[in-house]
Amino acid sequence: MGLTLIEKILANHSNKTEVRPGEIVDVFIDARAARDFGGANVVKNLVDRNLELADPSRTYFTFDCNPTGSDQKYAVNQHICRKYAREMGVKVYDIDQGIGTHILIHEGLAFSGSTAVTTDSHANILGAVGAFGQGMGDVDIVAAWNKGKTWFKVPESVKITLTGKRPVGLTAKDIVLNLLERFGANSLLGYSIELYGEAIDELNLDERITIASMATEMGAIILFLTPNEEVLNYSSEKAGRKLELVKADEDATYSISYELDIQEFTQRVSIPGKPHDTRSLTELNKVKIDSAFIGSCTNGRMEDLRAAAAILKDKKVAPGVVLKIVPATNEVWQQALDEGLIQTFKAAGALVSNAGCAGCAAGQVGQNGPGEITISTGNRNFPGKQGKGEVYLASPATVAASAVAGFITSYTEIPAEPALFESPTHKPSFTESTHHAVAAEVKPTRVRGRAWLIEEDNIDTDMIFHNRYLTITNLAEMGQYTFDNLKGYEDFAKKAKPGDLVVVGKNFGSGSSRQQAVDCFISLGIQAILAESFGAIYERNAINAAMPILTYQSLETVNLQNGDEIEVDFLTGELVNLSKRKSMLIDGFSEVQSEIYQQGGLF
């Protein structure tokens, strides 16, 4: 029986001839990186624990969250990383280089069949070149830097085949927004996706990066696009050697297979707060905007900038609308300058910044304010992620056209005269209807406490621990900010008591790789988190920090209500509602989770 692509890569990097879903393996990591966000915590862990680097030549810093150094705390963190890099011989891709995951591709550090980890939750963008990339929390990255490898549970694989010819005008961003509309934020949670079809084979590298970058928003471990000849040749050139194509076996076994007709795909826009909740562009036509953003790891490539420049040439951004453009890397920035695109953007009235993550990471240009309506090419529009306003997600062509029109529209429907703010228009609002555990002699495996029942799915890390607090490294300070960006639970930290247990729905902890979204619960003394499912990175972060997490299928048997006293056995999975005198079984700890829990964390 053959291997899927992720099974083949993980087997190749764990000295095995084959691996199967559910198997836990130690995976050798080819490229190990940390960003300016998270990097200082990685250094702190290494220094505090007196840990050495397995191989400095495979270890990197990438400064992309705040390349302008405009935030004092980011500037301090960057300096901590630079000093450590000088001492240890680690290469720094500094503030002039751009987004770290793209740099790994540009520098030939990630390629077909390779493995890479970084503190970026969109490291699975490397699936664009057939590499296995994973975003991980601080502890995982420390382990990879120190040991050169880290444990990983082999996921199940899903095969999606797009049939038919790609419609004219359908961009790569439209393709992935259609996939998000079809599969949502958690139906493929924890799967490795392989994308096939004639339309996929024809995609260039920039388009592949756009699609692969939004695997995180689908809840997937990674979304692979097997390299075509053009992409493999590019990777070989950057790596300085001829690379062999690594692909799935013809007889590979997939847990699920889908066939979708790409001719049914349409130009789409994600409504504010939900990347997976999309509308046909025609449904949102004429929504007035205040600002527009082109960039991020999803759409800051040359093809994206060319598409925008073609629309903006000899045109002006609508009066009162702000257009911000941020190339993904310095290489893209320089090429845009050489081709005259920067001049086109400036002539149209756009602000062009140096390469980086921009507004997506809250550290550069692209943020919006309360009440501001933005259309963005980013991959996330969670509340508070790109600012305090509302953010729609769309392709570069749609964003550029909307910036000129003054409202959301297609590039084929740009009016002769832009919409003005003096003319009131309907603006619909879419809303939803360092610091780790200390090992004890023997940690308890059966606990009881008050249940916080939060009946919501897709609670992301910005809702749990907002990115404005990411510079906090002191565990004691983190608890006070828990859930302060989750509507209805802003006062959770004040009401929660040590010993409480949190019970939530599906896909808890989706989004960013930030470790603080786990550690804030440890800070408060929360004993465990129960969920129908967890975001992949969040699950690892919690296990590695010895924060007890367990999954369940349904709680109907125990008739759980908020405030009930419950008892949970971590090993057997027995859940008892003491208030109702009802019990049931949920999923208990795995052997790895139990071991890490008892030793007080990964280390």
Task: List pLDDT tens digits, range 249-305.
Answer: 999 999 999 999 999 999 999 999 888 999 999 888 789 999 999 999 899 999 999
In a domain, residue 563? The reply is yes
Tell me which of 349, 383, 405 is where a domain ends: 405
- Same domain as 330, residue 290: yes
In a domain, residue 336? The reply is yes
- Same domain as 258, residue 331: no
* pLDDT higher than 60, residue 430: no
How confident is the model at residue 429, as a pLDDT? 58
pLDDT band at residue 434 under the 50/70/90 scheme: very low
- Same domain as 274, residue 245: no
- Same domain as 392, residue 366: yes
- Same domain as 120, residue 24: yes
- Same domain as 453, residue 565: yes
* pLDDT higher than 50, residue 433: no
How confident is the model at residue 432, as a pLDDT? 44
- Same domain as 107, residue 30: yes
- Same domain as 461, residue 317: no
* pLDDT higher than 50, residue 436: no
Tell me which of 381, 405, 429 is where a domain ends: 405
pLDDT band at residue 389 under the 50/70/90 scheme: confident
Distance separating alpha carbons of residues 261 and 444, to the nearest angstrom: 52
- Same domain as 488, residue 364: no
In a domain, residue 44? The reply is yes
- Mapped onto helix, strand or coil, the DSSP state of residue 311 is helix
Q: How many domains does the chain have?
A: 3
State which amino acid sits at residue 333. Answer: W
- Same domain as 534, residue 514: yes
Give the pairing of strands 278-280 and 268-270. antiparallel
129-138, pLDDT tens digit by residue? 999 999 999 9
CATH number of the domain encompassing residue 545 = 3.20.19.10
- Same domain as 236, residue 280: no
How confident is the model at residue 439, as a pLDDT? 43
Tell me which of 264, 281, 300 is where a domain ends: 264
Q: Which domain holds residue 561?
A: 446-598
Q: Is the dihedral of CA 494, 498, 499, 501 positive or negative?
A: positive
In a domain, residue 208? The reply is yes
8-31, pLDDT tens digit by residue? 999 999 999 999 999 999 999 999
- Same domain as 42, residue 187: yes
Nearest 5°: the CA angle 248, 253, 256 is 110
CA distances (Å), origin 582, targets 215, 434, 505: 39, 40, 20
228-254, pLDDT tens digit by residue? 999 999 999 999 999 999 999 999 999
Distance separating alpha carbons of residues 505 and 455, to the nearest angstrom: 6
Distance separating alpha carbons of residues 301 and 203, to the nearest angstrom: 14
Distance separating alpha carbons of residues 69 and 463, to the nearest angstrom: 25
Buried b / exposed e across 374-396, counting CB within 10 Å, b at 16+?
A: bbbbbbbbbbbbbbebbbbbbbb
Q: What is the mean pLDDT of residues 429-435?
A: 47
In a domain, residue 173? The reply is yes
Q: Where are the alpha helices (DSSP H) in 395-469?
A: 396-405, 461-464
Distance separating alpha carbons of residues 183 and 567, to the nearest angstrom: 35
User: Mean pLDDT over all residues of the chain?
Assistant: 92
In a domain, residue 500? The reply is yes
How remote is the C-alpha of 236 from its chain's centroid?
27
In a domain, residue 165? The reply is yes
CATH number of the domain encompassing residue 30 = 3.30.499.10
In a domain, residue 51? The reply is yes
What pTM, to 2 d.p., does this model score? 0.85
- Mapped onto helix, strand or coil, the DSSP state of residue 403 is helix
Strand order in the sheet with 157-163: 222-224, 192-196, 157-163, 256-261
